[in-house]
Structure 1
Amino acid sequence: MAVAIIGGTGLTRLDHLEITHREVVHTPYGEPSGPITHGILHGREVLFLARHGYGHTIPPHRVNYRANLWALQHLGVERLFAVAAVGGIHEAMYPGRVGFPDQVIDYTWDRKHTFFEDDLTHVTHIDFTYPYDDAMRQLLMAAAREVDLDAVEGGTYGATQGPRLETAAEIRRMKRDGCDVVGMTGMPEAALARELGIGYASCTVVANWAAGLDPAPITMEEIERHLNTGMENVRQLFGALIPKLES
Protein backbone atom coordinates (compact mmCIF):
# COMPACT_ATOMS: atom_id res chain seq x y z
CA MET A 1 0.00 0.00 0.00
CA ALA A 2 1.84 3.07 -1.29
CA VAL A 3 2.32 5.92 1.19
CA ALA A 4 2.95 9.59 0.42
CA ILE A 5 3.76 12.69 2.43
CA ILE A 6 2.87 16.19 1.30
CA GLY A 7 5.03 18.84 2.92
CA GLY A 8 3.86 22.38 3.47
CA THR A 9 5.62 25.54 4.61
CA GLY A 10 8.75 24.54 6.50
CA LEU A 11 8.88 21.04 5.01
CA THR A 12 10.05 21.24 1.40
CA ARG A 13 12.24 18.16 1.85
CA LEU A 14 12.33 15.11 4.09
CA ASP A 15 15.44 14.56 6.16
CA HIS A 16 16.65 10.95 6.11
CA LEU A 17 14.82 10.26 2.84
CA GLU A 18 17.13 8.24 0.62
CA ILE A 19 16.01 9.51 -2.76
CA THR A 20 15.88 6.86 -5.47
CA HIS A 21 14.44 8.99 -8.27
CA ARG A 22 12.11 11.84 -9.13
CA GLU A 23 9.19 11.42 -11.48
CA VAL A 24 7.41 14.04 -13.57
CA VAL A 25 3.70 13.26 -13.85
CA HIS A 26 1.47 15.03 -16.37
CA THR A 27 -2.18 15.08 -15.37
CA PRO A 28 -5.53 15.95 -17.04
CA TYR A 29 -5.71 18.84 -14.56
CA GLY A 30 -2.40 20.50 -15.34
CA GLU A 31 0.97 20.25 -13.69
CA PRO A 32 1.51 19.27 -10.03
CA SER A 33 3.60 21.41 -7.69
CA GLY A 34 6.70 19.56 -8.87
CA PRO A 35 8.10 16.13 -9.64
CA ILE A 36 7.13 13.36 -7.26
CA THR A 37 10.13 12.28 -5.17
CA HIS A 38 10.52 8.53 -4.63
CA GLY A 39 12.71 7.29 -1.81
CA ILE A 40 13.27 5.14 1.23
CA LEU A 41 12.40 6.64 4.60
CA HIS A 42 13.21 4.63 7.73
CA GLY A 43 13.28 1.44 5.70
CA ARG A 44 10.04 1.97 3.79
CA GLU A 45 9.30 3.25 0.30
CA VAL A 46 7.67 6.67 0.50
CA LEU A 47 6.63 9.27 -2.07
CA PHE A 48 7.05 12.94 -1.25
CA LEU A 49 5.71 16.15 -2.77
CA ALA A 50 6.32 19.74 -1.64
CA ARG A 51 2.90 21.39 -1.79
CA HIS A 52 4.28 24.86 -2.54
CA GLY A 53 7.02 23.61 -4.87
CA TYR A 54 10.52 22.59 -3.86
CA GLY A 55 11.58 26.24 -3.90
CA HIS A 56 8.45 27.27 -1.94
CA THR A 57 7.23 29.55 -4.73
CA ILE A 58 3.56 28.55 -5.13
CA PRO A 59 1.13 30.48 -2.90
CA PRO A 60 -1.69 28.50 -1.27
CA HIS A 61 -4.46 29.80 -3.54
CA ARG A 62 -2.44 28.84 -6.64
CA VAL A 63 -1.54 25.29 -5.62
CA ASN A 64 -2.93 22.86 -8.20
CA TYR A 65 -4.52 20.56 -5.65
CA ARG A 66 -6.29 18.43 -8.25
CA ALA A 67 -3.08 17.77 -10.17
CA ASN A 68 -1.20 16.94 -6.97
CA LEU A 69 -3.78 14.42 -5.77
CA TRP A 70 -4.34 12.90 -9.20
CA ALA A 71 -0.59 12.42 -9.70
CA LEU A 72 -0.21 10.66 -6.36
CA GLN A 73 -3.15 8.36 -7.02
CA HIS A 74 -1.79 7.64 -10.51
CA LEU A 75 1.40 6.39 -8.82
CA GLY A 76 -0.57 4.07 -6.57
CA VAL A 77 -0.77 6.11 -3.38
CA GLU A 78 -3.49 4.89 -1.03
CA ARG A 79 -2.45 6.69 2.17
CA LEU A 80 -1.43 10.33 2.35
CA PHE A 81 -0.07 12.20 5.36
CA ALA A 82 -0.29 15.97 4.86
CA VAL A 83 1.85 18.37 6.89
CA ALA A 84 0.72 21.98 7.15
CA ALA A 85 1.76 25.14 8.99
CA VAL A 86 -1.14 26.82 10.78
CA GLY A 87 -2.01 29.63 13.14
CA GLY A 88 -3.19 28.78 16.64
CA ILE A 89 -6.69 29.87 17.71
CA HIS A 90 -7.51 27.61 20.67
CA GLU A 91 -5.34 28.24 23.71
CA ALA A 92 -4.01 24.68 23.52
CA MET A 93 -2.66 25.32 20.02
CA TYR A 94 0.33 27.44 20.99
CA PRO A 95 3.25 28.15 18.61
CA GLY A 96 5.47 25.15 17.95
CA ARG A 97 2.82 22.59 18.93
CA VAL A 98 1.74 19.74 16.64
CA GLY A 99 -1.87 18.66 16.18
CA PHE A 100 -3.96 16.09 14.35
CA PRO A 101 -7.32 17.69 13.45
CA ASP A 102 -10.45 15.61 13.09
CA GLN A 103 -12.70 18.25 11.48
CA VAL A 104 -12.45 21.06 8.95
CA ILE A 105 -14.42 24.19 8.05
CA ASP A 106 -13.86 25.51 4.53
CA TYR A 107 -13.74 29.29 4.08
CA THR A 108 -11.92 29.16 0.73
CA TRP A 109 -13.38 30.34 -2.55
CA ASP A 110 -12.59 30.16 -6.27
CA ARG A 111 -10.56 26.97 -5.98
CA LYS A 112 -10.96 23.88 -8.14
CA HIS A 113 -12.43 21.76 -5.39
CA THR A 114 -13.80 18.64 -7.11
CA PHE A 115 -13.07 16.09 -9.79
CA PHE A 116 -16.80 15.55 -10.34
CA GLU A 117 -17.83 18.40 -12.62
CA ASP A 118 -17.40 17.57 -16.35
CA ASP A 119 -18.60 14.73 -18.60
CA LEU A 120 -20.53 13.07 -15.79
CA THR A 121 -22.91 10.15 -16.22
CA HIS A 122 -24.47 11.04 -12.87
CA VAL A 123 -24.04 13.59 -10.10
CA THR A 124 -21.66 12.36 -7.41
CA HIS A 125 -21.68 13.33 -3.74
CA ILE A 126 -19.07 12.08 -1.29
CA ASP A 127 -19.66 11.52 2.41
CA PHE A 128 -17.43 14.08 4.11
CA THR A 129 -18.90 13.88 7.61
CA TYR A 130 -15.51 12.92 8.98
CA PRO A 131 -12.94 14.46 6.61
CA TYR A 132 -9.84 12.70 7.95
CA ASP A 133 -9.10 8.98 7.94
CA ASP A 134 -9.47 7.92 11.57
CA ALA A 135 -7.20 4.86 11.33
CA MET A 136 -4.40 7.07 10.00
CA ARG A 137 -5.03 9.64 12.71
CA GLN A 138 -4.73 6.87 15.29
CA LEU A 139 -1.36 5.90 13.81
CA LEU A 140 -0.17 9.50 14.05
CA MET A 141 -1.31 9.79 17.65
CA ALA A 142 0.31 6.50 18.64
CA ALA A 143 3.60 7.58 17.06
CA ALA A 144 3.42 10.93 18.89
CA ARG A 145 2.98 9.16 22.21
CA GLU A 146 5.90 6.85 21.44
CA VAL A 147 8.30 9.78 21.04
CA ASP A 148 6.72 11.73 23.93
CA LEU A 149 5.52 14.44 21.59
CA ASP A 150 3.07 16.81 23.26
CA ALA A 151 0.52 16.82 20.45
CA VAL A 152 -3.16 17.81 20.34
CA GLU A 153 -5.28 14.81 19.35
CA GLY A 154 -8.19 16.47 17.59
CA GLY A 155 -9.56 19.87 16.72
CA THR A 156 -11.06 21.77 13.83
CA TYR A 157 -8.97 23.18 10.99
CA GLY A 158 -10.33 26.39 9.47
CA ALA A 159 -9.18 26.71 5.85
CA THR A 160 -8.91 30.26 4.50
CA GLN A 161 -8.14 31.56 1.03
CA GLY A 162 -4.83 33.36 1.56
CA PRO A 163 -2.24 34.33 0.70
CA ARG A 164 -2.77 37.19 3.16
CA LEU A 165 -3.10 36.41 6.84
CA GLU A 166 -6.48 36.88 8.46
CA THR A 167 -7.87 39.93 10.26
CA ALA A 168 -8.51 39.87 13.98
CA ALA A 169 -12.26 40.04 13.28
CA GLU A 170 -12.04 37.01 10.98
CA ILE A 171 -10.24 35.05 13.67
CA ARG A 172 -12.89 36.04 16.23
CA ARG A 173 -15.54 34.71 13.85
CA MET A 174 -13.60 31.51 13.27
CA LYS A 175 -13.24 30.99 17.01
CA ARG A 176 -17.01 31.39 17.41
CA ASP A 177 -17.44 28.87 14.60
CA GLY A 178 -15.37 26.36 16.55
CA CYS A 179 -12.04 26.50 14.70
CA ASP A 180 -8.97 25.57 16.71
CA VAL A 181 -6.35 26.35 14.05
CA VAL A 182 -6.32 28.33 10.82
CA GLY A 183 -4.46 27.42 7.63
CA MET A 184 -4.62 27.99 3.91
CA THR A 185 -4.09 24.54 2.37
CA GLY A 186 -6.37 22.10 4.20
CA MET A 187 -9.07 22.46 1.55
CA PRO A 188 -9.76 21.33 -1.08
CA GLU A 189 -6.89 18.87 -0.51
CA ALA A 190 -8.77 16.72 2.00
CA ALA A 191 -11.94 16.56 -0.09
CA LEU A 192 -10.08 15.71 -3.30
CA ALA A 193 -8.31 12.87 -1.51
CA ARG A 194 -11.69 11.54 -0.38
CA GLU A 195 -13.04 11.73 -3.94
CA LEU A 196 -10.11 9.63 -5.15
CA GLY A 197 -10.40 7.12 -2.32
CA ILE A 198 -7.05 8.08 -0.80
CA GLY A 199 -6.84 7.79 2.98
CA TYR A 200 -5.87 11.25 4.22
CA ALA A 201 -4.71 12.59 7.59
CA SER A 202 -3.33 15.98 8.51
CA CYS A 203 -0.46 16.89 10.81
CA THR A 204 -0.51 20.59 11.66
CA VAL A 205 2.34 22.62 13.08
CA VAL A 206 1.43 25.90 14.80
CA ALA A 207 3.68 28.63 13.44
CA ASN A 208 2.14 31.61 15.29
CA TRP A 209 -0.86 32.79 17.24
CA ALA A 210 -3.64 33.75 14.85
CA ALA A 211 -4.35 37.44 14.22
CA GLY A 212 -5.39 39.45 17.24
CA LEU A 213 -4.57 36.77 19.84
CA ASP A 214 -1.14 38.15 20.67
CA PRO A 215 -0.43 41.88 21.12
CA ALA A 216 2.83 41.53 19.20
CA PRO A 217 2.68 41.73 15.39
CA ILE A 218 3.01 38.53 13.36
CA THR A 219 6.42 38.40 11.71
CA MET A 220 8.08 35.96 9.33
CA GLU A 221 10.96 35.65 11.80
CA GLU A 222 8.54 34.43 14.47
CA ILE A 223 6.90 32.00 12.06
CA GLU A 224 10.22 30.55 10.93
CA ARG A 225 11.43 30.15 14.51
CA HIS A 226 8.37 28.18 15.59
CA LEU A 227 8.34 26.15 12.37
CA ASN A 228 11.92 25.06 12.97
CA THR A 229 10.88 23.63 16.32
CA GLY A 230 7.63 22.16 15.05
CA MET A 231 9.09 20.53 11.96
CA GLU A 232 11.81 18.87 14.02
CA ASN A 233 8.99 17.32 16.04
CA VAL A 234 7.34 16.20 12.81
CA ARG A 235 10.55 14.50 11.68
CA GLN A 236 10.71 12.59 14.97
CA LEU A 237 7.05 11.70 14.55
CA PHE A 238 7.58 10.19 11.10
CA GLY A 239 10.65 8.38 12.39
CA ALA A 240 8.33 6.47 14.72
CA LEU A 241 5.40 6.23 12.33
CA ILE A 242 6.85 5.10 9.00
CA PRO A 243 8.52 1.83 10.13
CA LYS A 244 5.21 0.64 11.61
CA LEU A 245 3.14 1.10 8.46
CA GLU A 246 2.01 -2.08 6.78
CA SER A 247 3.13 -2.61 3.19
Structure 2
Amino acid sequence: MAHNVLGVIGGSGFYQMKGLEKVEQLTLQTPFGEPSDPFYQGRIGDLEVVFLARHGRGHRLLPSEINFRANVFGMKQLGVTHLVSISTAGSLKEEIHPGELIVPDQFIDRTFRRPQTFFGDGLVVHVSLASPVCADLARSLVGATRAGGALVHEGGTYLCMEGPQFSTRAESNLYRRFGASVISMTAMQEARLAREAEMCYAALVLVTDYDCWHESVAAVDIAEILRVMNANVEKAQKAVSQLAGTLGNRPRSCGCEHALKGTIITDRTVISQERIDALRPLLGKYL
Protein backbone atom coordinates (compact mmCIF):
# COMPACT_ATOMS: atom_id res chain seq x y z
CA MET A 1 0.00 0.00 0.00
CA ALA A 2 1.26 3.46 -0.90
CA HIS A 3 2.15 5.85 1.90
CA ASN A 4 0.96 9.28 0.80
CA VAL A 5 1.89 12.49 2.59
CA LEU A 6 0.14 15.72 1.66
CA GLY A 7 2.18 18.92 1.71
CA VAL A 8 0.40 22.29 1.79
CA ILE A 9 2.14 25.59 1.12
CA GLY A 10 -0.08 28.43 2.29
CA GLY A 11 0.05 31.82 0.63
CA SER A 12 -1.38 35.24 1.41
CA GLY A 13 -3.93 34.92 4.20
CA PHE A 14 -3.45 31.15 4.50
CA TYR A 15 -1.04 31.13 7.43
CA GLN A 16 -2.19 28.04 9.31
CA MET A 17 -3.80 24.72 8.51
CA LYS A 18 -7.10 24.29 10.34
CA GLY A 19 -8.01 20.75 11.35
CA LEU A 20 -4.40 19.62 11.69
CA GLU A 21 -4.10 17.31 14.71
CA LYS A 22 -1.19 15.83 16.64
CA VAL A 23 0.93 18.69 15.37
CA GLU A 24 4.71 18.79 15.64
CA GLN A 25 6.68 21.92 14.75
CA LEU A 26 9.87 21.15 12.80
CA THR A 27 12.73 23.50 11.94
CA LEU A 28 14.79 22.11 9.06
CA GLN A 29 18.10 22.93 7.43
CA THR A 30 18.49 22.21 3.73
CA PRO A 31 21.36 22.42 1.21
CA PHE A 32 19.64 25.58 -0.03
CA GLY A 33 19.40 27.38 3.29
CA GLU A 34 16.48 28.02 5.59
CA PRO A 35 12.83 27.56 4.56
CA SER A 36 10.36 30.40 4.98
CA ASP A 37 9.11 29.17 8.35
CA PRO A 38 8.97 26.05 10.54
CA PHE A 39 7.04 23.12 9.09
CA TYR A 40 3.96 21.88 10.93
CA GLN A 41 3.53 18.13 10.64
CA GLY A 42 0.35 16.42 11.79
CA ARG A 43 -2.69 14.54 10.59
CA ILE A 44 -6.05 15.29 9.07
CA GLY A 45 -8.05 12.16 9.65
CA ASP A 46 -5.83 9.24 8.66
CA LEU A 47 -3.57 11.23 6.33
CA GLU A 48 -0.21 12.71 7.29
CA VAL A 49 -0.10 16.41 6.36
CA VAL A 50 2.78 18.91 6.37
CA PHE A 51 2.05 22.65 6.31
CA LEU A 52 4.34 25.61 5.56
CA ALA A 53 3.56 29.33 5.44
CA ARG A 54 5.20 30.51 2.20
CA HIS A 55 5.73 34.12 3.28
CA GLY A 56 6.69 33.29 6.88
CA ARG A 57 4.83 34.18 10.04
CA GLY A 58 3.56 37.74 9.87
CA HIS A 59 3.96 37.73 6.06
CA ARG A 60 7.59 38.90 6.11
CA LEU A 61 8.82 37.77 2.70
CA LEU A 62 8.24 39.37 -0.69
CA PRO A 63 7.58 36.83 -3.48
CA SER A 64 11.11 37.43 -4.82
CA GLU A 65 12.61 36.83 -1.36
CA ILE A 66 11.03 33.39 -0.81
CA ASN A 67 13.52 30.52 -0.67
CA PHE A 68 11.45 28.23 -2.89
CA ARG A 69 14.18 25.59 -3.11
CA ALA A 70 14.50 25.26 0.66
CA ASN A 71 10.71 25.13 1.03
CA VAL A 72 10.18 22.32 -1.47
CA PHE A 73 13.33 20.42 -0.48
CA GLY A 74 12.15 20.51 3.14
CA MET A 75 8.84 19.01 2.03
CA LYS A 76 10.78 16.24 0.29
CA GLN A 77 12.85 15.60 3.42
CA LEU A 78 9.59 15.12 5.34
CA GLY A 79 8.33 12.52 2.87
CA VAL A 80 5.75 14.62 1.04
CA THR A 81 4.37 12.85 -2.04
CA HIS A 82 1.58 15.28 -3.00
CA LEU A 83 2.09 19.05 -2.86
CA VAL A 84 -0.72 21.61 -3.02
CA SER A 85 0.12 25.29 -3.09
CA ILE A 86 -2.44 27.94 -2.17
CA SER A 87 -2.12 31.40 -3.68
CA THR A 88 -4.21 34.48 -4.38
CA ALA A 89 -4.49 35.93 -7.87
CA GLY A 90 -6.08 38.53 -10.08
CA SER A 91 -8.43 37.41 -12.84
CA LEU A 92 -7.53 38.00 -16.47
CA LYS A 93 -10.84 36.66 -17.81
CA GLU A 94 -14.32 38.16 -17.50
CA GLU A 95 -15.84 34.80 -16.63
CA ILE A 96 -13.50 34.17 -13.67
CA HIS A 97 -15.01 36.33 -10.94
CA PRO A 98 -13.52 37.61 -7.67
CA GLY A 99 -14.46 35.23 -4.88
CA GLU A 100 -14.15 32.16 -7.10
CA LEU A 101 -11.32 29.61 -7.16
CA ILE A 102 -9.36 27.98 -9.96
CA VAL A 103 -7.13 24.92 -10.26
CA PRO A 104 -4.89 25.79 -13.25
CA ASP A 105 -3.23 23.18 -15.43
CA GLN A 106 -0.67 25.41 -17.19
CA PHE A 107 1.80 28.16 -16.30
CA ILE A 108 3.56 31.06 -18.00
CA ASP A 109 6.71 32.26 -16.24
CA ARG A 110 7.49 35.98 -16.32
CA THR A 111 9.85 35.96 -13.32
CA PHE A 112 13.54 36.78 -13.68
CA ARG A 113 15.16 36.92 -10.21
CA ARG A 114 14.58 33.40 -8.88
CA PRO A 115 16.51 30.12 -8.87
CA GLN A 116 14.48 27.60 -10.88
CA THR A 117 16.14 24.25 -10.16
CA PHE A 118 17.77 22.10 -7.49
CA PHE A 119 20.47 21.13 -9.97
CA GLY A 120 23.51 22.75 -11.58
CA ASP A 121 26.97 23.10 -10.03
CA GLY A 122 28.30 20.10 -11.92
CA LEU A 123 25.02 18.20 -12.22
CA VAL A 124 22.84 18.64 -15.32
CA VAL A 125 19.22 17.42 -15.19
CA HIS A 126 16.44 18.16 -17.70
CA VAL A 127 12.92 17.19 -16.57
CA SER A 128 9.78 17.57 -18.69
CA LEU A 129 7.48 20.41 -17.70
CA ALA A 130 5.07 20.15 -20.63
CA SER A 131 2.28 19.29 -18.19
CA PRO A 132 3.42 21.04 -14.99
CA VAL A 133 0.41 19.97 -12.93
CA CYS A 134 -0.41 16.40 -11.90
CA ALA A 135 -3.73 15.71 -13.63
CA ASP A 136 -4.76 13.15 -10.98
CA LEU A 137 -4.11 15.48 -8.05
CA ALA A 138 -5.72 18.44 -9.82
CA ARG A 139 -8.86 16.41 -10.50
CA SER A 140 -9.03 15.36 -6.84
CA LEU A 141 -8.46 18.95 -5.71
CA VAL A 142 -11.26 20.24 -7.93
CA GLY A 143 -13.61 17.58 -6.55
CA ALA A 144 -12.64 18.38 -2.97
CA THR A 145 -13.15 22.12 -3.54
CA ARG A 146 -16.62 21.56 -5.00
CA ALA A 147 -17.49 19.20 -2.17
CA GLY A 148 -16.63 22.03 0.23
CA GLY A 149 -19.23 24.22 -1.48
CA ALA A 150 -16.95 26.58 -3.44
CA LEU A 151 -17.22 27.54 -7.11
CA VAL A 152 -14.00 26.38 -8.78
CA HIS A 153 -12.81 26.57 -12.39
CA GLU A 154 -11.07 23.45 -13.67
CA GLY A 155 -8.02 24.18 -15.81
CA GLY A 156 -6.58 27.43 -17.10
CA THR A 157 -3.23 29.21 -17.25
CA TYR A 158 -1.52 30.88 -14.29
CA LEU A 159 0.84 33.70 -15.27
CA CYS A 160 3.56 34.16 -12.67
CA MET A 161 5.00 37.67 -12.54
CA GLU A 162 7.98 38.92 -10.54
CA GLY A 163 6.30 41.67 -8.50
CA PRO A 164 6.08 43.00 -5.89
CA GLN A 165 4.26 45.76 -7.79
CA PHE A 166 1.09 44.80 -9.62
CA SER A 167 0.92 45.04 -13.42
CA THR A 168 0.63 48.11 -15.57
CA ARG A 169 -2.52 48.15 -17.70
CA ALA A 170 -0.39 47.55 -20.79
CA GLU A 171 1.08 44.42 -19.18
CA SER A 172 -2.31 43.25 -17.95
CA ASN A 173 -3.75 43.50 -21.47
CA LEU A 174 -0.68 41.79 -22.93
CA TYR A 175 -1.13 38.84 -20.57
CA ARG A 176 -4.77 38.58 -21.62
CA ARG A 177 -3.60 38.27 -25.22
CA PHE A 178 -1.32 35.45 -24.05
CA GLY A 179 -4.49 33.60 -23.06
CA ALA A 180 -3.66 33.57 -19.35
CA SER A 181 -6.51 33.05 -16.88
CA VAL A 182 -5.07 34.49 -13.65
CA ILE A 183 -1.99 36.40 -12.58
CA SER A 184 -0.02 35.96 -9.36
CA MET A 185 3.56 35.85 -8.06
CA THR A 186 4.52 32.51 -6.50
CA ALA A 187 3.31 29.14 -7.84
CA MET A 188 5.58 28.73 -10.89
CA GLN A 189 8.75 27.96 -8.95
CA GLU A 190 6.87 25.51 -6.74
CA ALA A 191 5.58 23.68 -9.82
CA ARG A 192 9.08 23.44 -11.31
CA LEU A 193 10.70 22.22 -8.10
CA ALA A 194 7.91 19.78 -7.22
CA ARG A 195 8.47 18.10 -10.59
CA GLU A 196 12.20 17.76 -9.88
CA ALA A 197 11.32 16.38 -6.44
CA GLU A 198 9.00 13.82 -8.07
CA MET A 199 5.95 15.07 -6.18
CA CYS A 200 2.43 15.24 -7.53
CA TYR A 201 1.67 18.97 -7.71
CA ALA A 202 -1.42 21.15 -8.03
CA ALA A 203 -2.29 24.73 -7.14
CA LEU A 204 -5.49 26.07 -5.64
CA VAL A 205 -5.79 29.72 -6.61
CA LEU A 206 -8.08 32.15 -4.78
CA VAL A 207 -9.30 34.90 -7.12
CA THR A 208 -9.43 38.19 -5.23
CA ASP A 209 -9.99 40.79 -7.96
CA TYR A 210 -9.96 41.57 -11.63
CA ASP A 211 -6.50 42.70 -12.64
CA CYS A 212 -6.23 46.32 -13.78
CA TRP A 213 -7.28 45.54 -17.40
CA HIS A 214 -10.91 45.44 -16.25
CA GLU A 215 -13.07 48.51 -16.85
CA SER A 216 -14.73 48.12 -13.44
CA VAL A 217 -11.54 48.88 -11.54
CA ALA A 218 -9.50 52.06 -11.63
CA ALA A 219 -6.54 50.05 -10.32
CA VAL A 220 -5.90 47.05 -8.11
CA ASP A 221 -7.48 47.92 -4.74
CA ILE A 222 -5.51 46.23 -1.96
CA ALA A 223 -8.28 46.73 0.62
CA GLU A 224 -10.81 44.95 -1.60
CA ILE A 225 -8.28 42.21 -2.33
CA LEU A 226 -7.85 41.58 1.40
CA ARG A 227 -11.61 41.48 1.99
CA VAL A 228 -12.21 38.88 -0.74
CA MET A 229 -9.05 36.98 0.23
CA ASN A 230 -10.27 36.43 3.78
CA ALA A 231 -13.55 34.99 2.49
CA ASN A 232 -11.70 32.72 0.07
CA VAL A 233 -9.26 31.37 2.66
CA GLU A 234 -12.08 29.59 4.48
CA LYS A 235 -13.08 27.91 1.20
CA ALA A 236 -9.48 26.79 0.68
CA GLN A 237 -9.26 25.38 4.21
CA LYS A 238 -12.37 23.28 3.57
CA ALA A 239 -11.01 22.12 0.21
CA VAL A 240 -7.72 20.90 1.70
CA SER A 241 -9.54 19.06 4.50
CA GLN A 242 -11.80 17.39 1.94
CA LEU A 243 -8.77 16.45 -0.17
CA ALA A 244 -7.04 14.88 2.82
CA GLY A 245 -10.11 12.75 3.39
CA THR A 246 -10.11 11.41 -0.17
CA LEU A 247 -6.40 11.10 -0.93
CA GLY A 248 -5.79 8.29 1.54
CA ASN A 249 -3.11 5.80 0.57
CA ARG A 250 -4.22 5.18 -2.99
CA PRO A 251 -1.37 4.25 -5.35
CA ARG A 252 0.13 6.89 -7.62
CA SER A 253 -0.42 6.01 -11.28
CA CYS A 254 0.38 9.40 -12.81
CA GLY A 255 4.14 9.00 -13.36
CA CYS A 256 5.15 11.99 -11.20
CA GLU A 257 7.16 9.77 -8.84
CA HIS A 258 9.43 8.79 -11.75
CA ALA A 259 9.93 12.29 -13.21
CA LEU A 260 13.74 12.15 -12.85
CA LYS A 261 14.14 8.77 -14.53
CA GLY A 262 16.45 9.16 -17.53
CA THR A 263 16.86 12.92 -17.04
CA ILE A 264 20.30 13.00 -15.37
CA ILE A 265 22.63 13.96 -18.22
CA THR A 266 25.94 14.28 -16.37
CA ASP A 267 28.22 11.23 -16.32
CA ARG A 268 27.96 9.61 -12.88
CA THR A 269 31.76 9.39 -12.60
CA VAL A 270 32.19 13.19 -12.65
CA ILE A 271 29.47 14.04 -10.12
CA SER A 272 31.05 14.76 -6.75
CA GLN A 273 30.06 12.57 -3.84
CA GLU A 274 29.41 15.73 -1.83
CA ARG A 275 26.82 16.83 -4.41
CA ILE A 276 25.17 13.41 -4.40
CA ASP A 277 25.01 13.35 -0.61
CA ALA A 278 23.51 16.83 -0.43
CA LEU A 279 20.75 15.91 -2.87
CA ARG A 280 20.19 12.35 -1.66
CA PRO A 281 16.44 12.87 -0.94
CA LEU A 282 16.06 13.66 -4.65
CA LEU A 283 18.66 11.41 -6.25
CA GLY A 284 19.07 8.51 -3.86
CA LYS A 285 17.27 5.98 -6.00
CA TYR A 286 19.15 6.97 -9.17
CA LEU A 287 22.76 7.56 -8.05
**Normalising by the residue count of structure 1, what TM-score does the alignment of the two structures yield?**
0.95
CA shift at 1:246, angstroms? 1.8
1:13 aligns with 2:16: yes
SS of 2:88's partner is: strand
- Between the aligned partners of 1:93 and 1:230, the Cα distance in structure 2 is 14
Q: Output one character per residue of 1:64-87: Cα deviation in whole Å (capped at 9) or x when no partner.
A: 000001111011111101100111
Residue pairs, 1:182-221, within 5 angstroms: 182-213=183-214, 214-221=216-223
CA shift at 1:239, angstroms? 2.7
Structure 2 unmatched ranges of 5 or more: 250-287
Structure 1 unmatched ranges of 5 or more: none
- The equivalent position to 2:225 in structure 1, one of 220, 223, 226, is 223
CA shift at 1:22, angstroms? 0.6
| Matching residue of 2:62 | 59
| Matching residue of 2:138 | 137
Equivalent AA in structure 1 for residue 88 of structure 2: A
| Matching residue of 1:177 | 178
| Matching residue of 2:101 | 98
Count of aligned pairs between the two proteins: 245
SS of 2:188's partner is: coil
Q: Which moved more, 1:43-52 or 1:175-184?
A: 43-52
- Between the aligned partners of 1:231 and 1:237, the Cα distance in structure 2 is 10
Equivalent AA in structure 2 for residue 79 of structure 1: H
SS of 2:194's partner is: helix
CA shift at 1:43, angstroms? 4.3
- Between the aligned partners of 1:197 and 1:211, the Cα distance in structure 2 is 36
- The equivalent position to 2:50 in structure 1, one of 27, 36, 47, is 47
| Matching residue of 1:28 | 31
Equivalent AA in structure 2 for residue 111 of structure 1: R
Contact 2:19 2:241 in 1 (8 A): no
RMSD: 1.3
SS of 1:55's partner is: coil
Contact 1:168 1:211 in 2 (8 A): yes
CA shift at 1:243, angstroms? 1.0
| Matching residue of 1:108 | 111
CA shift at 1:221, angstroms? 1.4
Q: Output one character per residue of 1:107-157: Cα deviation in whole Å (capped at 9) or x when no partner.
A: 00021111121121xx32111011001000010122133234211001000
List structure 1 runs of 4+ shifted beyond 6 angstroms: none
> Once the two structures are aligned, what percentage of the paired residues are identical?
36
CA shift at 1:158, angstroms? 0.1
Equivalent AA in structure 1 for residue 242 of structure 2: A
Contact 2:210 2:217 in 1 (8 A): no
| Matching residue of 1:118 | 121
Contact 1:9 1:84 in 2 (8 A): yes
Equivalent AA in structure 2 for residue 219 of structure 1: D
